């Protein structure tokens, strides 16, 4: 590492630690005062004004502490860890005088003993501020990946920006504090492999096709080739309207909420028959676009009034309107696009909806399968048992940001390419946070649910979960969909599948801790093994299964834990292609095969759950 970066790393420690200690002390003091106030305010109105003044002062000091902390973190981190808004000029923060043409986004895979991977992921995300792409506490290279001592190996994939001829693995070792003098025997077994020296080259090869997709004018019919490309938010919305028009008896559109930037969060319910709503959409209650704080308080209040907190029942008179088909059936919720850069998930969800709807029509079989009658029979059987509710794009703001500038980017200009790549790899939503004052914004939707939530202190982190649960409009929208259905006006949600990338894995709760018991683990394990095998049979690719905390790594506030804690036993994360060759920059040619694998896994899940609901032993109904 260049000497100037080594200096910044050491000189900022005192400032960084001071900010951290001040933030934590203020939080502790404010909590203690709140507790004292709650016990005395009812007896004496005198402390009210004093308490409010002290609280206002504490908030002001907390903001100063946050700025101190974040400024120190920015000073101690290299260019790769800074938010894209802060590093608009690529030459501003990196060491030396290398031009932007020498900046490269590198993707590394660091292998270590399985039980050390979680610590490495935490250090990379929280302490080093790196962009962690994936983490596997299960074997990451092969089914029996071991080090020299025989210990099972896991791995972590992370992205960082290198300058000039800097060695990516040496930079990562320094930032993860892997110093020779403190290495234990396990740390000496840590290995680093470069998956990609320059993600810009991988991305630049995709830009011409993305420019064409962003600028094309779509015809009315949407041929199947359209589903084998990535598309902007507006085109996806138009396609959902097209489905409601084309299949009015089988498709029901609903607005679950509204994002910070005013986009609709929509669900698509597919059922076997009845009276659909066509292009008319049942609107959810709009999210007020007022001030930042008032907007969030209003949403949380609505959430609590609807009784969708864990285990609470809704009050009489607060039922949602009846879905527009006569038979109330169990519902299965499939969500995609929580993380903006995971383009494959929304694309696969569109393929899955198309496949199901084609089975209800007289059109020729789609490209997702070659068997005509057996495949359609299986799909119709599923739709006679369940209503399938898709949320094809949970994070439309973040997704739209990943497309920003595609039309104007010059793939031959390194500086332009670096800026566009920053946007393309955006993970969070686009909501304002306390870090907005220094150019950081957005909340990681995937970690903002009330299930074992842990607040984050660094709003510049890609995994920033917010200061409290349900801080994002998107989490509120999904939570409202997953709430316990205790009335007869709608079917109970019996299964939940959250589509993500990458890793080719099917995982189940718990995600927050492997020490947490799971009373349903035997059933969930049996299903996940079968579904992973069904996906594996499609193209012969390796698929993994297991607990989320084991197969990936422990993380709090996940939707899969929230769904399970809300009474949805069959809750899963489905990590789509690939295993790291392209990561989040998966080319569009992978959409169709990825959808075929996802369809096989989802089909197995639904047949398994249907058999359990009927009280029968699951068969091989999910085989595709």
* Residues in contact with 363: Cβ distance below 8 Å, sequence separation at least 6, in sequence order: none
What is the tens place of the pLDDT at every residue in 449-477? 998 998 887 888 888 898 899 999 999 99
What is the predicted pLDDT for the residue at 101? Answer: 53
Whether 397 shows a pLDDT value over 90: the answer reads yes
∠ CA 561-125-591, nearest 5°, is 65
What is the predicted pLDDT for the residue at 539? Answer: 97
The sign of the torsion formed by the CA atoms of 446, 292, 130, 583 equals positive
Complete DSSP assignment for 565-577: HTT-SEEEEEEES
What number is the average pLDDT over the span 334-342?
Answer: 97
- Burial state string for 9-19 with b = 16 or more CB within 10 A and e = fewer than 16: beebeebbeeb
What is the predicted pLDDT for the residue at 112? Answer: 83
Rounded to the nearest angstrom, the gap between the alpha carbon of residue 172 and the centroid of all alpha carbons in its chain is 24
Three-state SS letters, 529-559: HHHHHHHHHHHCCCCEEEEHHHHCCCCCCCH
Burial label, 278 (beta-carbon count in 10 A; 0-12, 13-18, 19+): middle
Q: Phi/psi zone of residue 132: left (φ > 0), alpha (ψ -120 to 50 degrees), beta?
A: beta
Instruction: Respond yes or no: is residue 597 known to be catalytic.
Output: no
> What is the pLDDT confidence band of residue 272, given thresholds at 50, 70 and 90?
confident
Separation between Cα atoms, residue 168 and residue 166, nearest integer Å: 6
- 195 compared with 86, residue with greater pLDDT: 195
Q: Phi/psi zone of residue 352: left (φ > 0), alpha (ψ -120 to 50 degrees), beta?
A: alpha
- 562 compared with 380, residue with greater pLDDT: 562
Complete DSSP assignment for 437-496: GGT-----GGG-SSTT----S-TTSTT---SSTT-SHHHHHHHHHHS---STTSPPEEEE
Whether 45 shows a pLDDT value over 90: the answer reads no
Collapsed DSSP state (helix, strand, coil) of residue 520 = coil
What is the predicted pLDDT for the residue at 58? Answer: 57
Range name among 69-78, 262-271, 478-487 with the lowest pLDDT average: 69-78
> What is the pLDDT confidence band of residue 120, given thresholds at 50, 70 and 90?
confident
Whether 319 shows a pLDDT value over 60: the answer reads no
Burial label, 89 (beta-carbon count in 10 A; 0-12, 13-18, 19+): exposed
Separation between Cα atoms, residue 425 and residue 160, nearest integer Å: 12
- Burial state string for 159-187 with b = 16 or more CB within 10 A and e = fewer than 16: bbbbbeebebeebbbbbbebeeeeeeeeb
Question: Are residues 504 and 542 in contact, defined by beta-carbon separation less than 8 angstroms?
Answer: yes
Kind plus residue range of the DSSP H or E element containing 334: strand 331-335
Kind plus residue range of the DSSP H or E element containing 266: strand 264-270
Beta strands, E only, 345-466: 387-391
Separation between Cα atoms, residue 354 and residue 337, nearest integer Å: 17
Separation between Cα atoms, residue 427 and residue 417, nearest integer Å: 18
Q: Looking at 411, 575, 597, 599, which residue is catalytic?
A: 575
> What is the pLDDT confidence band of residue 354, given thresholds at 50, 70 and 90?
very high
Structure tokens at 353: 């909806």
What is the predicted pLDDT for the residue at 219? Answer: 61
Structure tokens at 31: 């909590």
- 254 compared with 361, residue with greater pLDDT: 254
Percent of the chain with pLDDT over 70: 65
> What is the pLDDT confidence band of residue 216, given thresholds at 50, 70 and 90?
confident
What is the predicted pLDDT for the residue at 153? Answer: 73
* Residues in contact with 27: Cβ distance below 8 Å, sequence separation at least 6, in sequence order: 62
> What is the pLDDT confidence band of residue 185, given thresholds at 50, 70 and 90?
low
Residue/partner pairs of 460-463 with CB below 8 Å, 24 or more apart: 460/70, 460/73, 460/74, 460/81, 460/82, 460/83, 460/129, 460/435, 461/125, 461/126, 461/129, 462/125, 462/131, 462/132, 462/427, 462/428, 463/125, 463/132, 463/427, 463/555
Collapsed DSSP state (helix, strand, coil) of residue 228 = helix
Structure tokens at 600: 């096989």
> What is the pLDDT confidence band of residue 380, given thresholds at 50, 70 and 90?
confident
Question: Are residues 286 and 278 in contact, defined by beta-carbon separation less than 8 angstroms?
Answer: no
Question: Are residues 503 and 516 in contact, defined by beta-carbon separation less than 8 angstroms?
Answer: no
The most distant pair of C-alpha atoms in the chain lies apart, rounded to whole Å, by 77
Place of tokens 């932007």: 100
Separation between Cα atoms, residue 95 and residue 305, nearest integer Å: 53
Place of tokens 């595709």: 624
């Amino acid at each position: 590492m260049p000497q100037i970066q080594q200096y910044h790393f050491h000189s900022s420690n005192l400032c960084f630690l001071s900010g951290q200690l001040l933030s934590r002390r203020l939080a502790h003091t404010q909590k203690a005062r709140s507790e004292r106030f709650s016990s005395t305010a009812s007896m004496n109105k005198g402390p009210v004004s004093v308490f409010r003044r002290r609280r206002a002062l504490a908030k002001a000091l907390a903001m100063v502490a946050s700025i101190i902390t974040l400024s120190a973190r920015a000073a101690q981190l290299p260019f790769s860890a800074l938010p894209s808004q802060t590093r608009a000029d690529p030459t501003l923060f990196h060491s030396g005088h290398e031009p932007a043409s020498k900046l490269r986004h590198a993707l590394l895979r660091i292998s270590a003993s399985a039980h050390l991977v979680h610590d490495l992921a935490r250090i990379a995300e929280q302490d080093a501020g790196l962009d962690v792409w994936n983490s596997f506490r299960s074997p990451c290279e092969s089914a029996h990946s071991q080090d020299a001592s025989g210990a099972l190996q896991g791995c972590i994939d992370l992205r960082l920006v290198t300058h000039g001829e800097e060695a990516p693995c040496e930079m990562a070792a320094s930032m993860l504090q892997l110093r020779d003098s403190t290495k234990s025997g396990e740390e000496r077994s840590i290995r680093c492999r470069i998956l990609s020296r320059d993600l810009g080259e991988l991305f630049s090869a995709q830009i011409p096709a993305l420019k064409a997709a962003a600028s094309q004018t779509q015809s009315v019919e949407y041929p199947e080739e359209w589903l084998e490309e990535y598309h902007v938010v507006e085109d996806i919305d138009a396609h959902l309207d097209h489905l409601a028009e084309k299949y009015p008896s089988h498709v029901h559109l609903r607005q679950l909420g509204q994002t910070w930037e005013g986009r609709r969060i929509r669900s698509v319910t597919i059922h076997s028959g009845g009276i659909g709503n066509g292009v008319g959409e049942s609107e959810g209650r709009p999210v007020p676009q007022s001030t930042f704080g008032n907007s969030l308080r209003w949403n949380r209040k609505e959430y609590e009034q609807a009784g969708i907190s864990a285990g609470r029942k809704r009050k009489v008179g607060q039922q949602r309107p009846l879905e527009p088909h006569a038979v109330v059936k169990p519902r299965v919720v499939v969500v995609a696009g929580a993380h903006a850069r995971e383009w494959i998930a929304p694309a696969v969800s569109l393929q899955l909806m198309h496949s199901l709807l084609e089975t209800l029509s007289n059109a020729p079989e789609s490209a997702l399968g070659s068997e005509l009658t057996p495949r359609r029979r299986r799909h119709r059987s599923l739709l006679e048992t369940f209503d399938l509710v898709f949320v094809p794009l949970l994070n439309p703001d973040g997704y739209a940001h990943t497309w920003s500038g595609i039309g104007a980017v010059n793939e031959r200009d390194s500086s332009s390419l670096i800026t566009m790549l920053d946007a393309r790899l955006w993970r969070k939503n686009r909501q304002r946070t306390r870090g907005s004052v220094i150019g950081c914004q957005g909340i990681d939707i995937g970690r903002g649910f009330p299930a074992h939530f842990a607040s984050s202190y660094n709003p510049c982190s890609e995994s920033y979960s917010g200061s409290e649960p349900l801080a994002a409009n998107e989490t509120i929208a999904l939570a409202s969909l997953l709430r316990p259905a205790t009335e007869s006006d709608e079917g109970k949600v019996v299964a939940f599948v959250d589509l993500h990338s990458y890793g080719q894995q099917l995982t189940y709760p718990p995600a927050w801790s492997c020490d947490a018991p799971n009373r349903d683990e035997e059933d969930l394990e049996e299903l996940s093994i079968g579904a992973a095998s069904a996906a594996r049979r499609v193209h012969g690719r390796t698929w993994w299964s297991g607990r989320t905390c084991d197969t990936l790594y422990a993380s709090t506030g996940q939707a899969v834990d929230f769904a399970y804690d809300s009474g949805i036993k069959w809750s899963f994360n489905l990590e789509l292609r690939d295993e790291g060759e392209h990561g989040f920059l998966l080319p569009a040619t992978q959409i169709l095969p990825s959808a075929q694998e996802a369809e096989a896994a989802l089909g197995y899940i639904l047949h398994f759950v249907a058999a359990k609901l009927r009280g029968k032993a699951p068969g091989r109904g999910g085989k595709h």
